Amino acid sequence: MTYQSPRIYIYKITFEEVPYYYYGVHKEKYFNEEYWGSPTTNKWCWELYTPKKQILQFFDYTDEGWLKAQEIEERLIKPFFNTDKWCLNESCGGKVSLKVLRESGNKCYELGLGVHSLTKEQRSENAKRTGKIYGKKGGERVYQLGVGVHGRTKEQMSEDGKQGGKKIIRT
């Protein structure tokens, strides 16, 4: 018996009963690993219907192969992302779907995370101070100064998103 190396590939999952579909890229831990995508928001579709996987293309098992596979996956999803109701992909090239953003924003509002942690008075005061100093160009200046919503670090925003995302998945 010969040893076969793990693979990197792009795949498409369709469902026998409905026209939903999902594109993905996978880097195997071992050859011929059982893998059916990593949906979170639309996991119900995998549980309710019969998925069929079609491997579209293989890539070299290297860092370059992984990057190339991700690039092609993005090109496959992009034309359908946020526009085709049958596409189950909730992210594309690091961008998250409008549905997930909306749900996450609502949860952050409910939990008082991020910009929603400021009181109405604090937001108003920030806007007044910025408007008095910088006038119509206030928005640009707020960004440059890193105040208000722009005053949060990437780590803080990331943590807020994770907290909001956890609450969405649990509900």
pLDDT at 35 over 90: no
Residue 171: pLDDT band (50, 70, 90) is very low
User: Where along the chain do its domains lie?
Assistant: 8-96, 98-170
Higher local confidence (pLDDT), 12 or 156: 12
pLDDT of residue 1: 45
pLDDT of residue 162: 73
Tell me the per-residue pLDDT of 105-147, one tens digit each, with 9 for 90 and over. Answer: 778 778 877 777 778 888 788 777 766 666 666 667 667 777 6
Cβ–Cβ contacts within 10 Å for residue 90, how many? 19
